[in-house]
């Protein structure tokens, strides 16, 4: 089941993020933008975003974390749910900063593509990680197509 982070599941989400070795600081506003996968009353995945400060139609995926045992279908549902949330608030492009080769493969499978990090600045610095982006309006038209031509 996919649902938004809310007052009923917030503490479970914080526990889930605390268990992750990748998160060093949990930001409440990012958590509250999130959507989660819930299995047997446990959080097993989250996708969250932050609106861009420089372009109000762009967002950055901030938390995209899940347990290894979730299915590709569950990941698809979480991404689709996130896409619909973004469309409702007029976000047209989503960017992800990727630190894991497993996540890189997933995002490539769903139509994200790599952009040169030298053209992306976050807090005045260009990240030394893989940068992926996708246009929200064509996302999932064909989730196995990897060759979208999209500019951020």
Provide, rounded to the nearest whole percent, the portion of the chain with pLDDT above 90.
28
Q: What is the predicted pLDDT for the residue at 2?
A: 96
Structural element, H or E, at residue 3? strand 2-4
Give the mean model confidence (pLDDT) for residues 63-83: 86
Give the mean model confidence (pLDDT) for residues 21-50: 90
Three-class SS state of 50: strand
Predicted confidence (pLDDT) per residue in 109-140, tens digit: 777 777 666 655 555 444 555 555 555 544 44
List alpha helices for 50-122, DSSP H: 72-88, 101-109
CA–CA separation, 108 and 82 (whole Å): 17
Q: What is the mean pLDDT of the chain?
A: 77
When pLDDT is cut at 50, 70 and 90, the band that residue 31 belongs to is very high
Structural element, H or E, at residue 32? helix 28-32
Give the position of tokens 């890189």: 104
Residue 149 pLDDT exceeds 80: no
Residue 39 pLDDT exceeds 60: yes
Name, of 8-22, 93-107, 108-122, 132-146, the range with top average pLDDT.
Answer: 8-22
Structural element, H or E, at residue 149? none
Tell me the whole-structure pTM to 2 decimals.
Answer: 0.76
CA–CA separation, 44 and 94 (whole Å): 22
């Amino acid at each position: 089941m996919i649902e938004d982070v809310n007052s009923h599941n917030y503490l479970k989400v914080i526990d889930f993020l605390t268990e992750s070795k990748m998160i060093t600081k949990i930001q409440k506003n990012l958590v509250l933008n999130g959507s989660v996968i819930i299995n047997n009353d446990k959080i097993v995945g989250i996708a969250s975003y932050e609106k861009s400060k420089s372009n109000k139609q762009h967002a950055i995926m901030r938390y995209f974390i899940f347990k290894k045992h979730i299915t590709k279908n569950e990941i698809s549902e979480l991404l689709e749910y996130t896409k619909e949330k973004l469309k409702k608030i007029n976000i047209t492009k989503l960017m992800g900063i990727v630190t894991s080769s497993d996540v890189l493969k997933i995002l490539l499978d769903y139509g994200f593509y790599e952009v040169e990090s030298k053209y992306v600045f976050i807090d005045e610095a260009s990240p030394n990680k893989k940068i992926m982006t996708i246009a929200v309006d064509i996302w999932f038209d064909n989730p196995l197509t990897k060759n979208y031509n999209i500019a951020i």
